[in-house]
Each structure stands twice: as C-alpha cells, then as structure tokens.
Amino acid sequence: MTEPAIEAAALAKRFGRRRDAWALRDCSFRVPAGRVCAVVGPNGAGKSTLLALAAGLLVPTEGTVTVLGTDPAAARPRIGFVDQDKPLYPQLTVAETLRMGADLNPGRWDAGTAHDVVAAGSLDPGKRIRALSGGQRTRVALALALGKRPELLLLDEPMADLDPLARHDLMGVLMGQAAAHGTTIVMSSHVVAELEDSCDHLLLLGGGRVRLAGEIDEVLAAHTRLSAPAGTTLAPHRVVETRTTGRQLSALIRPAGPLPGDWRTCAPSLEELLLSYLRNPEAPSSADTTTEAAA
Ligand SMILES: Nc1ncnc2c1ncn2[C@@H]1O[C@H](COP(=O)(O)OP(=O)(O)OP(=O)(O)O)[C@@H](O)[C@H]1O
C-alpha cells in the first residue's frame, strides 16, 4: 500500500496559553496519496491551522502529522502551498516571480505549466505584483505552486477571490495536474457546491475537531435522507438533522442497521450532507467510523 499523503494522529494546536485557545484538538485522519481532498468547515473551524501544520509552517502542540511519509519540514520541497495571504514579493514583476520560482526549485521547475497558468489569465509578464488584483495574484501564486511540480498541493481557499470563469479555468488546471502527475490536492473551501465534481475525499472540521473524514462516496453511502410520518422514532440511528413540517418528518441519518420499509429514503448529495452537518454543529461526529479515518 502506498503511504498516505497526510496522516495525523491526535493532532492538536493551541495558540497561546489560554485553556480555550485550541485551534485544533485530537484530530486523527488520513488522506491517501493521489486524492483531491476538500477541507470544509465554518469560519474558525481550524482549516487554515491544519493546512499550515501540514505545510510545516506551524508545529503541533500535541500529536503528530506525517506528510509524504516524513515530517512536514523535511517534505517541504515536495509540497506546494498557497495560503490565504498569497505571500508574493510586491516589487517583482510576474516574469521575475516565475524566474524566482525556477531559481528556488532547480531540477523540479515546470516552466511550461507555470507559464500556461499565468498566460491563461492574460497577465502582462512585465506587470508588478503590487499592481495586480487579488484574483490575479492568486493566479500567480498558483502558477508558482504548480511550477514546483509538487507531490502534495495544499491550497487554503484558493478560489475565494477569483471570478467564476477564472475559478472554472483554474479548477480545470488543478484537476489536470492531479490526473497527469498523481498530485495529491488538499484544499479548503467554503463553496460547497463546487466540491462535488472535483473532490473525491473529504475532511469536515468543526470546533477544531474532525467531524467527517473519508472517501466522499463512502461518506455519502453511509448516510440516508428520509421522510416518514411526524413523530416517528429514529433511534437507534444516528441523527444528523431532523425537521418536522406538518405531518411529515424529514431527516438526514447515519443508519445503524436496516430501515423500516415504510420510510421513504434517498441518497443525499454532498452539498445536502455538508449543509446538514454545518447547520447542526452538535450532531454526532462520524469521523471514527469511515474507512479512511485513522483509528
Ligand atoms: N496565529 C494565531 N494566533 C491566535 N489564534 C489563532 C491564530 N491562527 C488561528 N487562530 C485561531 O484558531 C482558530 C482556527 O482558526 P483557522 O484560521 O485555522 O480557522 P479556519 O477554519 O481556517 O477559518 P476561516 O474559514 O475563517 O478561514 C480560530 O479560533 C482562530 O482565531
């Protein structure tokens, strides 16, 4: 079996000394190599912290995270990371920035891919970074990260400031990269609807903890949407969300066994499932029961 791209065991990060300053707690999960993994969760859930730990930019307070079979600092040359701030040198031009990428990654640099990503945005190579829009800077940051030909690409809300066409274009570039080179992509996003087509693995965080982890197909298959008469008892199934309208009860559950034949059931979409979990932060975590979650 190939080693996972990321493996976390009881990973925790606290900023400062306050008892309530935990950004992440007791996170155990595994992202297999070659996956496109969505990291989802509400504001403050710990997504950026998790990505920064995997990138080796933060050190765990407790637990461990292993990246590409080694510790994140040692794996850094094999990792591309684009964080929310997109740190670039404002005084450099686009062309100079790409040349810097080539200089910093001798023997690895994929000039063609980096050039294509920039060119697709019709960016003037002579323009200084400080004169670019937020979305244009994102494009340059992604070109730098992809040019490195990383084995693992960590992206913190990469599409947040891109227009819809640019999002579509760059998602296509990312998927092409994953397919052509087997690159593992782990990306946080708030745009749930966009993840369904592009991602095959999921990590849902809430309150600094892992709520769902695993292959999206398996996570979806483990849940059922149902409607039944109001007042129906849903135990012993795990209830993520339930709503009663008039005489009708509808719910999203994680079945604990066979369901009664008179319940109407269907499979949830990824968006429905994620919205149900996000609306119900107290719903039981399923991170411990999906096959890909680390024990
Ligand atoms: N450098 C820091 N110093 C102190 N607290 C921090 C720091 N970075 C993050 N935090 C705290 O850790 C928690 C998790 O933050 P994080 O940025 O990882 O969340 P997030 O899921 O990425 O949120 P968002 O969706 O808003 O980007 C938050 O409570 C945040 O205030």
Residue 123, classed as helix, strand or coil, is coil
Residue ranges lining ligand 1, Cβ < 6 Å: 15, 23, 41, 43-49
CA distances for 81 relative to 52, 57, 84, 174, 184, angstroms: 9, 10, 10, 13, 12
* Cα 49 to chain centroid, rounded: 12
**Rounded to an integer, what distance in angstroms lies between the CA atom of residue 25 and that of residue 71?**
19
**Rounded to an integer, what distance in angstroms lies between the CA atom of residue 146 and that of residue 195?**
20
Q: Which residue, judged by its Cα, is nearest atom 10 of ligand 1?
A: 23
User: Is the bond preceding 87 in cis, omega lying within 30 degrees of 0?
Assistant: no
Asked if pLDDT for residue 292 goes beyond 60, the answer is no
Among residues 187, 180, 88, which one has the least CA distance to residue 134? 88
Structure tokens at 276: 């149900």
Q: Give 108-133 pLDDT, tens digit per residue.
A: 899 999 998 999 888 999 999 999 99
pTM here is 0.92
Asked if pLDDT for residue 37 goes beyond 60, the answer is yes
8 Å CB contact between 86 and 141: yes
Distance 4 CA to ligand 1 centre (A): 25
